[in-house]
Amino acid sequence: MRHVTAQPEPAEAKPLTEPVLLILLSLAGKPRHGYALIKDTELLSDGRVRLSTGTLYGAIHRLLDDGWIERFEQEDTSREKQAYRLAPAGRKRLQLELDRMKQLTRAASARLRTREV
Amino acid sequence: MKKAYVALLHLYPSSHRALFAPEMSLVFERAAEEHRGRGRLAFLRFAVAEFLGILFGAGREWFVTCTRPSAREQALRAAAEQSGLPYEVVRAQQQTDLCVKHMVNAIASHDFTKARFFSEAERRSRENLRALRQKYNIAE
């Protein structure tokens, strides 16, 4: 007996915050440690977003708790240089967010086109 | 500068500090080094953003720590996830099981007033469970 729900979970329906979206996007490429994440999110946002360490590690804590990212063990790094990678649940959530954004972009473009006519 | 940063990390709950303080210090140090080379104003802006980030971050962590669900709720949520059943249903099921357990214990110790109380509680709990099963379209 397994319950299947058609509605998405409330947490999945909620749009991601910009720092979280950028962190997930950054980790979608390859595992990264904290400093590399700050640099890459800055690059991804075209220099618009620079995460402070407080914001970054607050988000990392939440993402680890939710199982969206996981610690990535590297042989040659110390505990201070811990790397993180995207977990399957995080990849799925990122895909959902991108689909939501695509849908919103399509709707917005269609609305703008009708206004121009 | 690093000393001030490390001191400010003490504003975080100890659980967060134990997990992330060494990493945070190291990342801060590298970022500070980079911004120092970009001029005084850039460094000042960086330092203000970092310290504000710590203040807000610590506040948020304390809020999360204080409002985190209890161990029982977490266990119920884990059980719900594992079984694929809605959380409400798993909670109602556990409530019913608890009532039965208390009723059996009360009968065993010949405390029939208590047993009647739990029998009534079990009946209500079972009704609630039945309603939830109907709501989520789950077979008995």
Residue B107 belongs to some domain of the structure: yes
Distance from CA of B97 to the nearest CA of A (A): 19
Residue B58 belongs to some domain of the structure: yes
State which residues form the domain around B88: 71-135
Residues of chain A contacting residue B25, judged by C-beta atoms under 8 Å apart: 80
What's the pLDDT tens digit per position in A65-87?
889 999 887 766 555 578 999 99
Q: What residue in B sits closest to A34 (Cα-Cα)? A: B27
- Judged by CB atoms closer than 8 Å, whether chains meet at A50 and B57 is answered as no
Domains and CATH numbers, chain A: 16-116 (1.10.10.10)
**Same domain, residue pair B31 and B79:** no
**Same domain, residue pair B57 and B105:** no
Distance separating alpha carbons of residues B140 and B134, to the nearest angstrom: 9
**Same domain, residue pair B8 and B30:** yes
Q: What is the pTM of this model?
A: 0.67
- Judged by CB atoms closer than 8 Å, whether chains meet at B25 and A58 is answered as no
**What phi and psi, each to the nearest 5 degrees, are found at residue B120?**
-65, -40
Interacting residues of A6 by C-beta distance below 8 A, sequence separation 6+:
none
**Same domain, residue pair B63 and B101:** no
Mutate to test the interface with A, among B1, B9, B19, B26 (most CBs of A within 10 A): B26
> What's the pLDDT score for residue A117?
59
Residues of chain A contacting residue B56, judged by C-beta atoms under 8 Å apart: 54-55
pLDDT of residue A11 exceeding 70: no
Q: Token pair for residue B58?
A: 């610590």
Residue B140 belongs to some domain of the structure: no
Select from B34, B50, B67 the last residue of a domain. B67
Distance separating alpha carbons of residues B18 and B8, to the nearest angstrom: 14
A64, A70 in Cβ contact below 8 A? yes
Number of domains observed in the structure of chain B: 2
**Same domain, residue pair B6 and B47:** yes
pLDDT of residue A20 exceeding 80: yes
Residue B34 belongs to some domain of the structure: yes
HSE (side-chain half, CA atoms, 13 Å) at A86: 20
